[in-house]
Structure 1
Amino acid sequence: METDFLVIGSGIAGLTYALKTAKQHPDMSVMVITKTQADETNTKYAQGGVAGVWDEEKDSYDKHIEDTLIAGDGLCNREIVEIVVKEGPERIREIIGYGAQFDKNEQGEYSLGKEGGHSENRILHHKDVTGKEIERALLEELKTIPNIRLVNHCFVVDIITQHHMGYLVTKSTTDITCYGVYVLNRQTNQIEKVLAKITLLATGGCGQAYRTTTNPRIATGDGVAMVYRAKGRIENMEFIQFHPTALFEPGVSPSFLITEAVRGDGGILRNKDGEAFMERYDPRKDLAPRDIVARAIDNEMKRTGTEYVYLDCRHMDKEKFIHHFPNIYNKCLSIGIDVMQQMIPVAPAAHYSCGGIKTDEWGRTSIQHLYACGECASTGLHGANRLASNSLLEAMVFGHRCYLDAIGKIAKISFEKNIPDWIALSTMEPREMILITQSQKELQQIMSDYVGIVRTDVRLERAMKRLDLLFTETEELYRSAKVSPQLCELRNLISVGYLIVKGAQFRKESRGLHYNTDHTEKSPLLQNIIL
């Protein structure tokens, strides 16, 4: 198969780019590949909303920029922050133009929410399912574009570079080039090659590296792992954001998210004794940035010997709560919790990767003809900690910027015809699927126990030793068994786990989402860690 523009991933970042390139070049082909259904993305599970300066009488670009820089704890790229904040409102208007509906107040104006780390109300939302509404609007728009081909149930195994043509490719190779991808067609169980002039990775996050996560099961860090194998640049993977308030349900995965907007509307965190504890940790109390709130909850749980704390919404207006958070209200009710009568048990869960594939201001990676945007990319916006509701904004802005850069280059790029077919290392089915499933459980336990909210040098060293063994075992299995999505996801998660641990070992300080009790001070000299 050949396509001019290839998009891996069907979330907000990938679909924004696909729609724009297809409309700009109706004579060219655009292919979007997703490993399950088109709407099964991290975007779909984003509850809170999208941040943007909307009310310019009360808010300003400078305020949003400053809030983002403060949350990022000194590691944001200010130029990128300014780009995203200033270009964001126009991208939001485009999404509205596609049909996305955001909540309005009685006066017909957009109802703007407030979340942790924000100094003003600037969050546009659709009840508590904002991401799902945006995904719906984008997919509806996609149906109207004839030159976009949406391919479901195809798992991308690797991006194709000179390495697959027999050339030696190392980190020092300056002209690594992407020619397309190898995909496992889940309906035929055959590995096929898809050649492309330009490829965009919009593969989402890696929350499944942890035992407790708000991410869907598809979030296995595929894009980051593929680029790392292709000798591309990865940065800042140690900054894994734990959402402070996931609904505590033992044994349930993924965890149900209790959006930060609940605290924005007045929800209060309390420990097992009913004490509102956040005032002891930060003057912003329950609306401090997520890294601070997650560490505070972690400390309260350890101090009191409990597995969760409580989110108290009992004082909030019932009618307004049900209107704004209908899914949360019904979910809690389904497990016997009436949020107007009882407090919600919550605990932190792995939520968002602030690092990823290193890109420049146009979404270009270190590999030629390969772009990345969305959660799999490290653009420089988030620094050491993401400001709430900046992720959907970033995805839209960089989907647009990738499109602008790509359409200026596509005419000068030709298909590489000398690409070999995939060479199967083995055609044998895995004898025991437990070898894969158990290794993934081991990985998640290692990452959760040793590389969580609070870290130490000893824990990181132990995690690396365990990961080395898992890597060796899994590579042996990969060489001896037929390729499957489960095996590929395990390989990718192990690579992601390694990158998180390695970045954490290099960072001899505590900053943002990375907190190491052996190095509690910030280092003025330490910037981005590139692997």
Structure 2
Amino acid sequence: MTEVLNHLAGRVAIVGSGLAGLVTALRLAPQPVMLITRAELGAETSSAWAQGGVAASLGEDDSADLHLTDTLAAGDELCDAAAAASILRQAPTAIAMLESFGVTFDRAANGAFSLGLEAAHSRRRILHVGGDGSGAAIVCALVEAVLRTSSITVLTGFEVRRLLVEEGIVCGLLGATRNGTAILPTSRVVLATGGIGGLYDATTNPIGNFGQGIMLAARAGAELADMEFVQFHPTALDSPKRPLALVSEAVRGEGATLVNERGERFLAGEVRAELAPRDVVARAVSAELARGGRVFLDGRTALGSRFASRFPQIDTLCREAGVDPSCELIPIRPAAHYHMGGIATDENARSTLQGLWAVGETASTGLHGANRLASNSLLEAAVMGMRAAQDIAGMATVAPRRVRGIALPGPADVSAVRQIVSRHLGVLRNAGAIHGAIASLLQLAESEGPASDPAMVALLIAVFASMRRESRGAHARTDFPLKLAYAERRKMRLDEALEIARTTASHPLARSA
């Protein structure tokens, strides 16, 4: 039996409790909102696992313009420059907002912010909380603020499986709860559901995150953008543990180097060497592994005995894997880490579907382009959460339309999809692999089985990848190794992607893959 939550009808529904969702809920106060999460508040979120911190141009030698220059360079000519400039200019406001909710950023002895350096940044501009535990500390402070805010009703154990739409307008949510099926009637939904790392075997993300927000928005008819761009963090701790532990870019920012099993610094000839953009480093590491070699992070000289005090969380993770980073090499490998693509949104986080907003990693604002600049993600989540809240608060309340229930899809199973994605849509791609992925994923996506929803998200990545016949940023094709002279962001809806997938699946390359 389906329970209709009429006592909560009409409230803004925020799906997801990472940084973006928490900020949106807090900034909407005192307007009543529902904060919906399948796990406990703040749990199973990539935000809570972030080590690097928040990028903000607050140093005396820094500016929003310099931050923008670095962002555009890392984004490999595919950022929306206007959107990026607008978001980066709000960094001081975002930091002040986070502090107002109890976040305590690390400061130097003189009281100034303690600013770290990460790859592809030309200035020290990374704010941390508690060293390398920034994400967890920020989420913890925001969760405490949410629990103190009476206008926010938290609904845990609610897994949203479909958006309900009538005449192109959002009218509710359909989900599974501890008590069965439930419908929440609402005309205003904010998706803050995180990324797609769970589609890959090697990932630093919560393994249950397969792109649920993208799936919900796509099935409801919203436009998607830049789905092919999956960022692989080049230095995940190489171990049997899943998800893989992350060895933050900040370790290289403090002088650690990358070496292969022969002791060679194979990135020494690159501009900025180990601090080159992530796509450059990930490709170089992948090439070393592809030839049968191994890759290590060497912090013995740069950090040595200081490693544990500077990076206590990473030190613990290394020691759990049997490595003492103060005096031993840290084995690393690339792992799926961040998705630059997602639900296409405007400057106020609105999607193309009336009544639907998207914030955080599930959205694609144009800030990141083809390759995210380190630590811009938490900044974007904070800024866009503020903007979504402001946009919604300025709208007249609309009574939700009459909700017509649909059958509740079963729980998702990513296992079959994960094998296909890990094999065919990794750091290095080619037409044969992409076409093979499309053929396999299309069958799963069009079925009604447990793999359908994650296969749909993976299929979108593959279709977008098939259409970008160049190597740019995080999208590297061995059959098209060069960049085109001109490139632009690509946007499309699910029905368009399915039409392309069906045509591609009949291609000889797909049948032979």
TM-score by structure 1 length?
0.88
CA deviation digits over 1:203-235, x for unaligned, max 9? 100101111100012311001011111111011
CA deviation digits over 1:143-189, x for unaligned, max 9? 11111101111100111101xxxx6xxxxxxxx2111211111x11x
Amino acid of the structure 1 residue aligned with 2:229: F
CA deviation digits over 1:391-416, x for unaligned, max 9? 000001001111111111133x2221
Task: Tell me if the contact between 2:259 and 2:266 (Cα under 8 Å) persists in the aligned partners.
Answer: yes
Partners of 1:147 and 1:220 lie apart in 2 by: 30
Q: Could you tell me which residue of structure 1 aligns to residue 16 of structure 2?
A: 9
User: Which residues of 2 match residues 87-486 of structure 1 at below 5 A?
Assistant: 87-126=90-129, 127-162=131-166, 176-185=168-177, 187-188=178-179, 190-250=180-240, 252-280=241-269, 282-303=270-291, 305-306=292-293, 308-318=294-304, 320-411=306-397, 413-416=398-401, 418-423=402-407, 440-472=414-446, 475-477=447-449
> Counterpart of 1:278 in 2: which secondary structure?
coil
Q: Which moved more, 1:126-135 or 1:383-392?
A: 126-135
Q: Which moved more, 1:317-326 or 1:3-12?
A: 317-326
CA deviation digits over 1:351-407, x for unaligned, max 9? 000000000111110000110010000001001000000000000100111111111
Q: Which moved more, 1:88-97 or 1:110-119?
A: 88-97
Task: Tell me if the contact between 1:198 and 1:410 (Cα under 8 Å) persists in the aligned partners.
Answer: no
Moved >6 Å (runs of 4+)? none
Between the two proteins, the alignment pairs up a number of residues equal to 483
Task: Tell me if the contact between 1:206 and 1:493 (Cα under 8 Å) persists in the aligned partners.
Answer: no
Percent identical:
39
Partners of 2:275 and 2:157 lie apart in 1 by: 40
Partners of 2:441 and 2:359 lie apart in 1 by: 28
Identify if the C-alpha distance between structure 1 residues 441 and 241 changes in structure 2 by more than 3 Å, giving closer, same or farther: same
Task: Tell me if the contact between 2:171 and 2:400 (Cα under 8 Å) persists in the aligned partners.
Answer: yes
Partners of 1:447 and 1:524 lie apart in 2 by: 29
Q: Could you tell me which residue of structure 2 aligns to residue 49 of structure 1?
A: 53
> Counterpart of 2:248 in 1: which secondary structure?
coil
Query: How much has 1:316 moved relative to structure 2?
Result: 2.8
Task: Tell me if the contact between 1:197 and 1:410 (Cα under 8 Å) persists in the aligned partners.
Answer: no
Query: How much has 1:107 moved relative to structure 2?
Result: 2.8
Partners of 1:443 and 1:121 lie apart in 2 by: 40
> Counterpart of 1:161 in 2: which secondary structure?
strand
Query: How much has 1:198 moved relative to structure 2?
Result: 1.3
Task: Tell me if the contact between 2:189 and 2:357 (Cα under 8 Å) persists in the aligned partners.
Answer: yes
Identify if the C-alpha distance between structure 1 residues 131 and 421 changes in structure 2 by more than 3 Å, giving closer, same or farther: same
Partners of 1:461 and 1:317 lie apart in 2 by: 45
Amino acid of the structure 1 residue aligned with 2:205: N
Q: Could you tell me which residue of structure 2 aligns to residue 171 of structure 1?
A: none
Identify if the C-alpha distance between structure 1 residues 424 and 396 changes in structure 2 by more than 3 Å, giving closer, same or farther: closer
Q: Could you tell me which residue of structure 2 aligns to residue 480 of structure 1?
A: none
Task: Tell me if the contact between 1:192 and 1:421 (Cα under 8 Å) persists in the aligned partners.
Answer: no
TM-score by structure 2 length?
0.91
Q: Could you tell me which residue of structure 2 aligns to residue 73 of structure 1?
A: 76
CA deviation digits over 1:223-250, x for unaligned, max 9? 1011111111011110000000000003
Q: Could you tell me which residue of structure 1 aligns to residue 510 of structure 2?
A: none
Amino acid of the structure 1 residue aligned with 2:12: F
Partners of 1:301 and 1:341 lie apart in 2 by: 23
Identify if the C-alpha distance between structure 1 residues 447 and 116 changes in structure 2 by more than 3 Å, giving closer, same or farther: same
Task: Tell me if the contact between 2:307 and 2:326 (Cα under 8 Å) persists in the aligned partners.
Answer: no
Task: Tell me if the contact between 2:307 and 2:325 (Cα under 8 Å) persists in the aligned partners.
Answer: no
Query: How much has 1:332 moved relative to structure 2?
Result: 1.2
Amino acid of the structure 2 residue aligned with 1:137: A
Task: Tell me if the contact between 1:191 and 1:422 (Cα under 8 Å) persists in the aligned partners.
Answer: no
Q: Could you tell me which residue of structure 2 aligns to residue 481 of structure 1?
A: none
Partners of 2:52 and 2:317 lie apart in 1 by: 16
Task: Tell me if the contact between 2:239 and 2:321 (Cα under 8 Å) persists in the aligned partners.
Answer: no
Task: Tell me if the contact between 1:464 and 1:501 (Cα under 8 Å) persists in the aligned partners.
Answer: yes
> Counterpart of 1:262 in 2: which secondary structure?
helix
Q: Could you tell me which residue of structure 2 aligns to residue 502 of structure 1?
A: 463
Query: How much has 1:98 moved relative to structure 2?
Result: 1.4
Partners of 2:41 and 2:339 lie apart in 1 by: 22
> Counterpart of 2:12 in 1: which secondary structure?
strand
CA deviation digits over 1:471-497, x for unaligned, max 9? 34xx243xxxxxxxxx3xx43321111
Q: Could you tell me which residue of structure 2 aligns to residue 173 of structure 1?
A: none
> Counterpart of 1:400 in 2: which secondary structure?
helix
Query: How much has 1:442 moved relative to structure 2?
Result: 2.9
Amino acid of the structure 2 residue aligned with 1:202: A
Partners of 2:329 and 2:10 lie apart in 1 by: 52
Structure 1: gaps of 5 or more residues: 168-175, 431-435, 478-486
Task: Tell me if the contact between 1:8 and 1:34 (Cα under 8 Å) persists in the aligned partners.
Answer: yes
Query: How much has 1:319 moved relative to structure 2?
Result: 5.1
> Counterpart of 1:279 in 2: which secondary structure?
coil
Query: How much has 1:424 moved relative to structure 2?
Result: 5.3
Partners of 1:334 and 1:421 lie apart in 2 by: 48
Amino acid of the structure 1 residue aligned with 2:316: N
